[in-house]
Amino acid sequence: MTSDPCRWIGHLDMDAFFAAVEQLDEPATRGKPVIVGGLGLRGVVSTASYEARRYGIHSALPMAVARRRCPDGIYLEPRFGRYKEISQKVRAIIAGYAEAIETISLDEAFFDLSHHGSTTEAVTAVAREIKGRVHRETGLTCSVGLAANRFLAKLGSELGKPDGFMVIAPEQIQEILDPLPVGAIWGVGRVTERRLVGLGLLRVGDLRRVSLDLLVREFGSQGRRLQQLARGEDDTPLCAEVESKSVSREVTYAHDVIDPGEIEREIRRLARDVAGQLERGALLCHVVRIKLRYPDFRTISRQARLGVATDSAQLLEAVAVHLLRNRVSLDDRGVRLIGVGAAKLSETTARQLPLFD
């Protein structure tokens, strides 16, 4: 697996987005610790301003703990309608330059700039222009990473925060990756990180150089994927948005669901419900999506495009589970919301029956 040297993927991440919007709309809160999240007994922090982070406040922290650490902070409920309004402005700016956009959440998106040329200088100039326009037109800062694939682009935006801009050229990959802790690799949550450290693999460079047989023996197919990422290799395609016509089912829990088996069972049930809705509406889908919301309100979606349109419950269930197992990082944070959807729909008067049960 190698990254296409002519492929240029950008990742844009708004800085402390929810809190920054609140500070933008209410000047009296600027320069002060602003904490956005659920204010109830079981509430958790969704986003904390950089002023609040100096008190040790971060996303997913119980709100009660945040109040003890920063009793004079400004605590606010999320205003998702306002956040979505600004998110749409940012997406419209990106759309003016990008060949494809994959929206991850209200404050985060990948985009493809490969068509702007093969030279680093040409594509960098476009990415800088996007970043500058976001600041000028929204009043907010963002961090942008630019690289040959999704993994490296997101890593670049994270390393540059806040208000950062980082290009990872092919010749810089190992120089940047090797010194990082193994937790910087996609899919390495706290449990996997502890296992890797227990094997003496503290840095990405250690993970890159260790025997592949050892990783496969310890982690199965995930071990191969971990070493590929440690080499900066990621051929995951951008899942560009399709038309808005879709059907979906989702469930929100009053408690955090942590057990991966329970999450997978819910994904399977929702996929079957979606398939039933497609059948009743005489519809077929080309795209299957899953959606998860973490306790800190961060919401992610993953999708796969099918070669043939279908309403098969078996196929939708299999694809949804594949996305969960291979495209989502689950750890002891748990999730609050689980959803499955079908998109790029077409009407049909005849159904293709499954060959196997």
Residues with a known catalytic role: 108
Chain position carrying tokens 């150089």: 209
Amino acid at 37: G
Amino acid at 237: P
Torsion, Cα of 274, 276, 282, 284 (10° steps): 40
Cα–Cα nearest to 146, from 174, 113, 118? 113
Cis peptide before 162 (omega within 30 of 0): yes
H-state helical runs in the chain? 17-25, 50-53, 63-69, 80-95, 120-138, 150-160, 173-177, 190-198, 204-209, 212-219, 221-230, 260-280, 313-327
Contact 9, 147 (CB under 8 A): yes
Instruction: Give CA–CA dist 132/141, Å, rounded.
Output: 9
